[in-house]
Amino acid sequence: MIEREIVTGRHSILVREAGDSEGTPIVYFHGTPGSRLDVSFGEEIATALGVRVVSFDRPGYGGSGPGPYSLISIAHEVDALADSLGIGRFAAFGWSGGGPFALAAAAVLGERVVRAGVAGGNAPFQQVPGALESFTDNDRLALSFLPDEPARAAEQFVIGNEEMLQTMMSVRDDEQAPWIDWLWGETDPGVVSDPVLRGNLFSVLHEGLRQGPMGVAWDNVAWCGPWGIEVEDIRCPVHLWYGELDQMAPPVNGEWLRHHLPDASLVVYPGEGHLVPLRHWEEIVGTLTR
């Protein structure tokens, strides 16, 4: 495993490389909240499969410098990261809030992305029928500032979700992380009760949130508002994985994406929730690099 700081021109980005350094590359986009450590649990699997996993903290998360961003700007950041690391073509994979970023990379970077994958990620809220009905009044107020005032929208997301964000921030100080049960206990009880996997979740979130909640706010700006891309323009194969019981990103998101992507396949795991990669990492990595 190697970690290094790469300056892309707009931000200083902390990058983690794991698995087989000479292997087939996957660029991983972490969740919301999350960090470059999201899939550190699977590094031995990646090595065994001959896969090089490149993950990075988005601005304001973990060890990356803070600053505004969008789906499209992160795609360009990844383009620069790949150049710096000597990577040509690669697979893009995003879990949860990272899903839209992986799709944006596939749309923006064209043939450089050979395959894309999403596990438990949202489809465009603006386009999925009924999706905006789940938004609070504050979220709608934040969205009203887009696309012209993204910084104001980010600030409003923080103001209106202060209680939830403060609860999330408590993970930095409490290794038992009670809100992990609150978020995932109902649909992923087997995962959050496993001491090894629970410890991994704590490490991921402790690192991701160490600078504060602004990364979460900019994620919300990036994929709650207009995406700035059309998923219909993505030409590489896209693989979709969802848990049947996922309440954070229900499988209807995967169904919408499968219907609108030109080349997509969807797997829905019966009885599972949002933490699909923790149980199916080998399958996901193998599919994206075959």
User: Each residue of 20-41: pLDDT tens digit?
Assistant: 999 999 999 999 999 999 999 9
Average pLDDT over residues 195-213: 88
Hey, which bits of the chain come out as E strands?
Answer: 2-7, 12-19, 24-29, 51-56, 90-95, 113-119, 238-243, 264-269
Percent helix, strand and coil across the chain, each to the nearest 5: 45, 20, 35
Tokens read off for 289: 């690099």
Helix (H, G, I), strand (E, B) or coil at 261: coil
Instruction: Give the number of other Cβ atoms within 10 Å of residue 189's Cβ.
Output: 12
Of 19-28, 104-113, 126-135, 230-239, the range with the lowest mean pLDDT is 126-135
Q: For residues 232 and 230, give the distance between their C-alpha atoms in angstroms, rounded to a whole number.
A: 5
Helix (H, G, I), strand (E, B) or coil at 118: strand
**What pairs with residue 267 in β-bridges?**
241
| Residue 34 · residue 62 · CB < 8 Å | no
Determine which helix (DSSP H) or strand (DSSP E) holds 54, and give its type and residue range: strand 51-56
Residues in the chain: 290
Residues 69-82 have pLDDT tens digits of 999 999 999 999 99
| Residue 105 · residue 288 · CB < 8 Å | no
Q: For residues 59 and 214, give the distance between their C-alpha atoms in angstroms, rounded to a whole number.
A: 9
Half-sphere exposure of 282 (CA within 13 A, CB side): 5
Band (177; pLDDT cuts 50, 70, 90): low
Q: For residues 53 and 43, give the distance between their C-alpha atoms in angstroms, rounded to a whole number.
A: 8
CA-atom Rg of the chain in angstroms: 17
Average pLDDT over residues 180-205: 84
Name the more confident of 10 and 279. 279
Q: For residues 34 and 31, give the distance between their C-alpha atoms in angstroms, rounded to a whole number.
A: 5
The pLDDT value given to residue 163:
76
Average pLDDT over residues 213-234: 95
Of 111-125, 157-171, 203-217, the range with the lowest mean pLDDT is 157-171
Amino acid at residue number 105: A
Q: For residues 141 and 145, give the distance between their C-alpha atoms in angstroms, rounded to a whole number.
A: 7
The pLDDT value given to residue 63:
97
